[in-house]
Chains A and B, each alone.
Chain A
Amino acid sequence: MQKKILFVEDEAALQKTLGDVLEQEGYRVIRALDGEAGFKMAQAENPDLILLDLVLPKMHGFEVLKALKSDEATKSIPIIVLTNLESMGDIEKALELGATTYLVKASYSLEEVVNKIKKALGE
């Protein structure tokens, strides 16, 4: 079965690069450009994994995370936070709120991010 990844990211360039590569890797990528849309899509589509940016319009990534983890339907979906915020405080907060992994975009190559996503999907 083709796995479904929800990619919540407001930056078009990243939607294109990472999104295209994930599609090429055989995943179905559904995209949301703001936090609110991301949360609604997660409820409606029940994806296998969520990639979540933190600085998002309409609803901040932390709020999305909180909402997803307090909703029975979306509670168990693994969430990878993908951001350029890198303070210890942000990392701790995201993990406390239930994120599976925290990745700082600038520190990883695209290939490494794809590998982390595969690992989170248990592949």
Chain B
Amino acid sequence: MMSFKETLGQLNVRAYCKKYGLGMWRCPQFLFLLMGLVIIATALITYVIGTRYVADPGIVSLIVLVITIILFVLTFSFTRSLEGLAEANRLKSEFVSIVSHQLRAPLSNLKWALEILISGRFGRVEGKPADYLQILTDNTKRMGELVSSLLIVSRIEQGRLPMHKAEFSLVDLAKEAITEFKPIASASNVDIVLEIPKSDLPFAFGDSSQLKIVAENFIDNAVRYTQGAGKVVVTVSPKNGTLLFSVKDGGVGIPKEDQKHIFQKFFRSGNVLKYQTQGSGLGLYIAKSIVEKSGGKIGFKSEQDKGSTFWFTIPTKK
């Protein structure tokens, strides 16, 4: 619920519109306030005319009709100016999309050139220069991941996230994702284990490459936010006719006050910023969009300093 102070703050229309960089005539808050005032004023005028000057109900009805038409025209022109906002939002998504596409080409050039240098195909690089090469490689990879995340976000916002649904094994997907993070995890003494039931599980139905992004995000977070040595448990199990994928860690956890924001775009919890400044705050936003578009549910349980469990469900083939 909005607090009293927040509600009062919204009445300061000028500050509100300024915050979003909108001119008064394009600012919804101002337009609705104006609209309200116009409606109240016309109702008053109608009342005064009807009771004091004109006794004929026919003429009063006519006046009401004329005023309604004027109000209709006004409302229409107001909504037209709101269209500008929708257009601005579309342009923003398009901008992100174009920029990320354009960034991909130079990034893949960088990636391949670095790969050649590190492979030693044309001569070994050793000692300090090799360390610098590794820094370049790591940061190119980071940039690449960020650009990919931005591309996914822009697709989500334009409603163009591709979903190629098919049957797949969620256990295989979990194994692949774990294999990818094993090296990073063992470097920081974190053990990733997979727990699956003994009986065979049904196939999941969804876009496996998209859901792999979600699984990797969960495991990445679990490893990243585990302090010192620890264990990350990945589970795949049946749940009410769907399949449940969950990742449990004993890491830093999420403070209670931050929990409601955790799936918001660009949100990063205050406590993790102390341990880990890297991260875009896009991962869980993307995860939520993908899971929901797949017809599943997503959620988590977390306690600060005790750890978190993130899970999603995915439909099985009917």
Q: Is the CB of A24 within 8 A of B121?
A: yes
The one of A21, A88, A105, A106 in contact with B116, judged by C-beta atoms closer than 8 angstroms, is A21
Q: Is the CB of A18 within 8 A of B112?
A: yes
The one of A16, A24, A105 in contact with B108, judged by C-beta atoms closer than 8 angstroms, is A105
Q: What 0/1 readout, one digit per residue, does chain B (49-86) give for beta carbons within 8 Å of chain A?
A: 00000000000000000000000000000000000000
Q: Is the CB of A106 within 8 A of B112?
A: no
**Interchain CA distance A16-B122 in the complex, whole Å:** 13
B182 at the interface (CB under 8 A from A): no
Q: What residues of A have a CB within 8 angstroms of the CB of B187 in the complex?
A: none
B196 at the interface (CB under 8 A from A): no
Give the distance to chain B from A5, nearest Cβ to Cβ, in Å: 16
Q: How large is the interface on B (under 10, 10 to 19, 20 to 34, 35 or more residues)?
A: 10 to 19
Q: Is the CB of B109 within 8 A of A13?
A: yes
Q: Which residues 159-209 in B have Cβ within 8 Å of A in the complex?
A: 162, 164
Give the distance to chain A from B40, nearest Cβ to Cβ, in Å: 52
A72 at the interface (CB under 8 A from B): no
Q: Is the CB of A110 within 8 A of B104?
A: no
Q: What residues of A have a CB within 8 angstroms of the CB of B164 in the complex?
A: 88
Q: Which residues 121-160 in B have Cβ within 8 Å of A in the complex?
A: 121-122, 144, 148
The one of A11, A17, A24 in contact with B105, judged by C-beta atoms closer than 8 angstroms, is A11
The one of B108, B113, B119, B144 in contact with A84, judged by C-beta atoms closer than 8 angstroms, is B108
The one of B112, B144, B162 in contact with A14, judged by C-beta atoms closer than 8 angstroms, is B112
Q: What 0/1 readout, one digit per residue, does chain A (1-43) give for beta carbons within 8 Å of chain B?
A: 0000000000101101110110010000000000000000000
A96 at the interface (CB under 8 A from B): no
> Taking A13-B113, A88-B162, A106-B144 as contacts, is the C-beta distance between A111 and B105 under 8 angstroms?
no
Nearest A residue to B113 by beta-carbon distance?
A17
Q: Is the CB of A11 within 8 A of B109?
A: yes
Q: Is the CB of B109 within 8 A of A111?
A: no
Q: What residues of A have a CB within 8 angstroms of the CB of B111 in the complex?
A: 106, 109-110
Q: Which residues 65-100 in A have Cβ within 8 Å of B in the complex?
A: 84, 87-88
Q: Which residues 97-123 in A have Cβ within 8 Å of B in the complex?
A: 105-106, 109-111
Q: What residues of B have a CB within 8 angstroms of the CB of A87 in the complex?
A: 162
> Taking A88-B162, A109-B111, A109-B115 as contacts, is the C-beta distance between A21 and B121 under 8 angstroms?
yes
| Extra contacts besides A11-B105, A17-B109 (17): CB < 8 Å | A13-B109, A13-B113, A14-B109, A17-B113, A17-B116, A20-B116, A21-B116, A24-B122, A84-B105, A106-B107, A106-B108, A106-B111, A106-B144, A106-B148, A109-B111, A110-B115, A111-B115
Which 9 interchain pairs have the tightest Cβ spacing?
Answer: A13-B109, A110-B112, A17-B112, A105-B108, A106-B108, A110-B115, A106-B104, A84-B104, A17-B113
Interface residues of B (CB under 8 A from A): 101, 104-105, 107-109, 111-113, 115-116, 119, 121-122, 144, 148, 162, 164
